[in-house]
Structure 1
């Protein structure tokens, strides 16, 4: 029997790979095709030779404790807290009040709609369904948003809402499930329900922050031991999730059990690791992490969606009985989603606390609300024997909720997911802005410029013949010239857009150089994050059409989230984020090094083919003048630091220089071993000798 389970698991994974390739060629959303194939596997599994497919099935424990933490971490790891903060009002409105509006509307409207067609379904069942179906699934739709060109901010709002409303939905689901199983006690149940809901929410946030910073510190302690670093990132998701559940089982206050949301805790901990812990990882591990978790997310989603198809076809409730409730549920759910979007975001626009959200964006948020894995998880957590007084149907409460839930999921996947591109195009959301069009043409020119440079090197290294070189050079030169010609024909006066592109290009160049400096070990994490934050702020300013920067010491307001994070750091006795004199010296020294490099490259643009791409001389001069002024200001600060801390910095530079030399020794030794110039035995001997010499 165990062999059949494993055979089924790996067969489903193999089928998923085939489905993925088919989806890529047919340009059909991957998750949609998975569910369809999952449904088609049911008749196949009735053939004796393929009966083993049914051996592996979704269980509440497998989904909840194994799959769900992976999906949460994979989605939350790459979200920038800074971007989230900038849109926190919209995200919070959709994830909490919006979620509650949708849940209660679906619950109340569903109760009356089902009664209208002769289904006497208790309101607690429809409320439970409302909580289950109101959570949106980021995995199923975000790839579509990106493929079809949804604006970055709209994608971020949807992703933030999808992640946080998972926790909100599950919290209120548990409240309604408790009432379903143990009965409703009037105002006491209502009061306890709201109290438990907010405790789950805010308790989960605080516990997630704690776990995130603890694991970030653990990663810092084991830095250099790559296997331990990877193991800790794997543990942070599941350990936070399971520990939250265990702790919640034992917290009792005034006779009341207090539960924290394991989903919210895992989400917050994952975001802390993604925004703070990643800087503590070794260079190789940091680059590997995204591929590592992307793979786990791919496998998990593949299994969940393909098994979802199997789950629906196996329902005990007859389709002819369930079809009308499913169709009506779909309509009610769509109305509930609309009510959770338009009024709340309309009010937010009136307050002018954030950038306005376009009505066309609201349409897409309403239509693009796909449902997925969490809804299935919540359905499976309903006990099979759950019942209510007066429930006389042949099918159970769980069967009914499962049928209408899976029906709604099918509708969102088969209808909404396949039409998102057309809806976006009809709303004009996928239309390129003027800046994006300029970036498109000049981006193509930059690509062909790099290709021409590579082609030149290939010819110099005698890897291609002269005839091949000339043929390919002429071909790519024509493409390069065509891109610039199309740009000039469409934008004859685009000086402002060209300067914007130039500034962002230079900031990207600075980011790349900064990362190299950090990975060489020339600066520590605090200095790296401070400079990176400054570059991110400048990039955000330019994208919004504001001035880039006035001076390097410009002060920026500290938001509430950052104050909370700083408070947690102090609570955990973590190091202060304020730069010490030696760190401040490194900060100015690194900034000066980067600024001087940028000035040199900008001044040399006129003598390269890039000068033709960034062809606005005035924009180039203004950018050079800005960076020269910043470099001059930085040099003054650096000179003052050296003058006032001469002895301290002299000793520090001696130690710092020695560290650089030690690192170079180890790097050279690693290369000698990797290239098999020295044996493993000699590598160990030299490694231990060099390590002893550093002490």
Structure 2
């Protein structure tokens, strides 16, 4: 069987196996990634066995071909896409707030873990390794693998902040680990002489900074490109795929820096400042595409890791099994020690760190495909003694299996035991209020359906009983809501989150341009930092104030664009802010834990509305012609949105053929594109 056909057969089998496992594991507590790894181990163990039937021979050959995959191919094929999806899906505001904690774990934390692991290998394990080999191995296994950690957290975690901390660490500590791995690997081979602390530090800074710069440049190119595209989901998605792989390859091969840092930088920038540059209609499609691609790649890589370990790792003596057990225990203790040493700083930086979250952070230090790929590269190096190569590969593979199966398989139980599988009591109280709104809507629909003559003989009593027992999730059951201070914080945070989502919804409808959406989101995220406050918003107030230099710009014809861009920013943010505040006021009473909090929130929102309306009235008095042009643009965009929706509705109803509806939608969207492009030029023509 040819290599290409063998890989195709394995890919089809992997996807079908993943689909079957996903179906069988639905509702269970067994993590999908753990089940895939165990299946890969089983497949690798039984492939090519003499007792298999003859028809299984070709499948066994495909397993052998896959087991011989190049280590670099594992990193270059799977890692860029998986890291990009993970970083792109992160909440950028939360990541930015937690960056000091993430950096502390990813750099000093990994250095401590590397040194302690090397010390463990030298002093506690019966291995004849020198310090260069021990340090190389320490760097190899100390970094938590982003592929394994991210996959696990998305299945098990219900705490966004804890998930971001573990995920962010796993994404960034790879750069630190690779610097030290390459350094000590060179020492083992004799190509690198002993280096001082200063040289190592400078090399680390070079690798990280160059990787970040590559990611920045790639993100800038993508932003410039997609900014010239309107609602082309295929093109904008393909550009992000190319960006993920291009940044990784250029950083790794072109500059010998960290490809992971480059990809993380690109993804975070595109998810943050670049989000408003993508066509609003494309973002939903784009995120779903990356989620699907990550699922496919996770299925392939966990199955592949299991097969590689089963096929390539030789079973050693009893002494090596005992060494693996000691190493597993020691690595977990070292991670706990590292976090304990850093906990005084971790508790004061970012959003802080509690004891329970520190325990989860310790137990969530999984190793995976990255560590295995580096170990395979060591195993293929003939300049290293065969015994050492076999020991490195066995211990790394064993550590990967044990951390994923034991730590990954029990993380859900640990979260339950520590009470972290449920939402905090105060937030749970606000979710219960939201659930009440959902049931109220269902009750209204129930009253309407009772009058439907096509449902005249429905068993309404049974239906009502079914609805009475229906709850979104047991974690939302009412309980002690906690201190009133916590209730108020979570209540305000939920209102601010709804305000931020309102801005993104307006941007998606084309009612806010990228500049206004970015300013409004930045303002509400500033209000979310620390103790959340509903108002006022100092940055917005500074923007809305009419500076004396604004009118002087009108005397200079070539500065018209600057003047009207400022007016457009003021009008856009005012309009978006007013609409979001009105929506937030409607939610304030429904979500409030008690009437007093609702009254206080509504008073602040009313003050926000009054202030914004006064600024809008002043803007209309001072710049009536420009505001009229902006309002005309907004009205036309609303009408074009409705026209596009009407065409799509008729297509869904079968009134229009697909070809006809596509042509009509293309015409409407072309008009939208021309409108957006021509707005600045039209404003420039204003007197």
Give TM-score scaled by structure 1 length. Answer: 0.83
Aligned-pair Cα RMSD in Å: 3.4
Distance 1:669 1:26 in 2: 43
* Partner residue in 2 for 1:130: 138
* Partner residue in 1 for 2:409: 418
* Partner residue in 2 for 1:287: 284
Q: 1:397 to 1:27 in 2, by over 3 A?
A: same
* Partner residue in 2 for 1:72: 83
* Partner residue in 2 for 1:34: 36
Q: Does residue 247 of the first structure (1) align with residue 247 of the second (2)? A: no
Aligned mate of 1:56, from 63, 66, 91: 66
Aligned mate of 1:376, from 368, 372, 392: 372
Aligned mate of 1:434, from 400, 425, 430: 425
Q: Does residue 536 of the first structure (1) align with residue 525 of the second (2)? A: yes
C-alpha contact 2:147 2:369 (8 A) present in aligned 1: no
Deviations 1:505-555 (A, max 9, x none): 5445444543332222121011112222333344455xx4x4432346468
Distance 2:366 2:131 in 1: 24
C-alpha contact 1:90 1:345 (8 A) present in aligned 2: no
* Partner residue in 1 for 2:326: 328
Task: Using the TM superposition, name which of 54-63 and 288-297 deviates more.
Answer: 54-63
* Partner residue in 1 for 2:21: 19
C-alpha contact 2:44 2:308 (8 A) present in aligned 1: no
* Partner residue in 2 for 1:563: none
Shift of 1:122: 2.4
* Partner residue in 1 for 2:165: 157
Q: Does residue 408 of the first structure (1) align with residue 405 of the second (2)? A: no
- Secondary structure, counterpart of 1:319 in structure 2: coil
Q: 1:676 to 1:375 in 2, by over 3 A?
A: same
C-alpha contact 1:125 1:401 (8 A) present in aligned 2: no
Aligned mate of 2:120, from 84, 109, 112: 109
Gaps of 5+ in 1: 249-258, 557-574
Shift of 1:386: 3.3
Distance 2:310 2:17 in 1: 18
Q: 1:195 to 1:533 in 2, by over 3 A?
A: closer
Distance 1:294 1:102 in 2: 32
Q: 1:364 to 1:499 in 2, by over 3 A?
A: closer
Q: 1:223 to 1:61 in 2, by over 3 A?
A: farther
* Partner residue in 1 for 2:382: 386
* Partner residue in 1 for 2:272: 275
Task: Using the TM superposition, name which of 669-678 and 225-234 deviates more.
Answer: 669-678
Task: Using the TM superposition, name which of 159-168 and 651-660 deviates more.
Answer: 651-660
- Secondary structure, counterpart of 1:635 in structure 2: helix
- Secondary structure, counterpart of 1:224 in structure 2: coil
* Partner residue in 2 for 1:567: none
- Alignment of structure 1 residues 129-278 onto 2, 5 Å: 129-142=137-150, 145=153, 151-187=159-195, 192-248=199-255, 259-278=256-275
Task: Using the TM superposition, name which of 495-504 and 225-234 deviates more.
Answer: 495-504
Aligned mate of 2:612, from 622, 634, 654: 634
C-alpha contact 1:669 1:683 (8 A) present in aligned 2: yes
Shift of 1:626: 1.5
- Secondary structure, counterpart of 1:239 in structure 2: helix
Distance 1:506 1:106 in 2: 46
Aligned mate of 2:601, from 601, 606, 623: 623
C-alpha contact 1:78 1:274 (8 A) present in aligned 2: yes
C-alpha contact 2:364 2:407 (8 A) present in aligned 1: yes
Gaps of 5+ in 2: 543-560, 679-687
Q: 1:594 to 1:270 in 2, by over 3 A?
A: closer
Deviations 1:129-151 (A, max 9, x none): 11111111344345655665564
C-alpha contact 2:499 2:580 (8 A) present in aligned 1: yes
Distance 2:637 2:367 in 1: 53
* Partner residue in 2 for 1:346: 344
Deviations 1:584-610 (A, max 9, x none): 1121122223334544666xx6xxxx5
- Secondary structure, counterpart of 1:221 in structure 2: coil
Q: Does residue 653 of the first structure (1) align with residue 631 of the second (2)? A: yes
C-alpha contact 1:498 1:619 (8 A) present in aligned 2: no
Shift of 1:397: 3.6
Deviations 1:275-318 (A, max 9, x none): 23332223442112222112211221222221222222223543
Distance 2:90 2:657 in 1: 44
Task: Using the TM superposition, name which of 353-362 and 335-344 deviates more.
Answer: 353-362
Q: How many residues align?
A: 639
Aligned mate of 1:300, from 297, 300, 317: 297
- Secondary structure, counterpart of 1:278 in structure 2: coil
* Partner residue in 1 for 2:308: 311
- Alignment of structure 1 residues 85-124 onto 2, 5 Å: 85-114=96-125, 117=126, 119-124=127-132
Shift of 1:402: 1.1
Q: 1:129 to 1:434 in 2, by over 3 A?
A: same
Shift of 1:346: 2.4
Q: Does residue 581 of the first structure (1) align with residue 567 of the second (2)? A: yes
Shift of 1:154: 2.3
* Partner residue in 2 for 1:469: 460
Task: Using the TM superposition, name which of 57-66 and 222-231 deviates more.
Answer: 57-66
Distance 1:378 1:621 in 2: 59
Give TM-score scaled by structure 2 length. Answer: 0.83
Q: 1:129 to 1:340 in 2, by over 3 A?
A: same
Shift of 1:128: 1.6
Shift of 1:98: 0.6
Deviations 1:340-382 (A, max 9, x none): 2111222444xx4444422332222222211112112222333
* Partner residue in 1 for 2:622: 644
Shift of 1:156: 1.8
Task: Using the TM superposition, name which of 292-301 and 65-74 deviates more.
Answer: 292-301
